[in-house]
A and B are shown apart, each in its own frame.
Chain A
Amino acid sequence: MTKGDIDPPPFFKSWTSMYWLVLGVLAAFILLFYLITEAYK
Chain B
Amino acid sequence: MSGLDWGVLVGTIAFIVLYGVWKTRKAQHMSGYLRADNTERWWMMGLSIMATQASAITFLSTPGQAFDDGMRFIQFYFGLPLAMVVLSITAIPIYYRLKVFTAYEYLESRFNLKTRSLAAFLFLLQRGLSTGITIYAPAIILSTILGWNLTATILFIGVVVTFYTVVGGTKAVSQTQRLQMAVMLGGMLAAAVVVVRLLPDGVGFSEAMTVAGTSGKLNLVDLSFNPDDRYNLWSGLIGGFFLALSYFGTDQSQVGRYLGGETIAQSRLGLLMNGLVKVPMQFLILLVGVLVFVFYQFYQPPLYFNQQQASSVTTSEGAPAWQNLEAQSQRIFQEKKEATLALVQAHRENNQAGEEQASQRIRQAEEKRKEVRQQAQALVKTHNQGTDLKDTDYVFLTFVTQQLPKGLVGLLLAVVLCAAMGSTASAFNSLASTTVVDVYKRTVNTKASDEHYVRASRWFTVGWGGVSIFFALFASQLENLIQAVNILGSLFYGTILGIFIAAFYFQKLKGNAVFWAAVGTQVIIFLLYEYTTIAYLWYNLIGTLLVVGIGFLLRPFLREQA
Contacts and interface: CB of A to CB of B under 8 A. Distances in A.
B263 interface: yes
A30 B209 contact: no
Interface string B258-280: 00000111001100100110011
A40 B221 CA distance: 12
Contacts of B283: 29, 33
B85 A19 contact: yes
Interface size class of B (residues with CB under 8 A): 20 to 34
A31 to B, nearest CB: 9
A28 to B, nearest CB: 10
B82 interface: yes
A30 to B, nearest CB: 6
Contacts of B263: 6-7
A6 B35 CA distance: 19
B210 A33 contact: no
Contact of B220 (A8, A18, A21, A37): A37
A1 B81 contact: no
A33 B84 contact: no
The DSSP consensus for interface residues of chain A is helix
Interface in B38-97: 74, 78, 81-82, 84-85, 88-89, 93, 96-97
A22 B275 contact: yes
Contact of A40 (B81, B84, B212): B212
A1 B212 contact: no
The DSSP consensus for interface residues of chain B is helix
Contacts, number: 71
B74 A33 contact: yes
A8 B263 CA distance: 11
Interface size class of A (residues with CB under 8 A): 20 to 34
A41 B217 CA distance: 9
Contacts of A23: 81-82, 85
Given A1-B96, A34-B221, A7 B84 contact: no
B233 interface: yes
Interface string A3-38: 001111110000100110111011001100110110
A13 B533 CA distance: 47
B320 interface: no
Interface of A: 1, 5-10, 15, 18-19, 21-23, 25-26, 29-30, 33-34, 36-37, 39-41
Given A9-B268, A29-B283, A34-B223, 12 more contacts: A1-B93, A6-B265, A6-B268, A22-B275, A23-B82, A23-B85, A30-B78, A30-B233, A33-B221, A36-B218, A36-B220, A40-B209
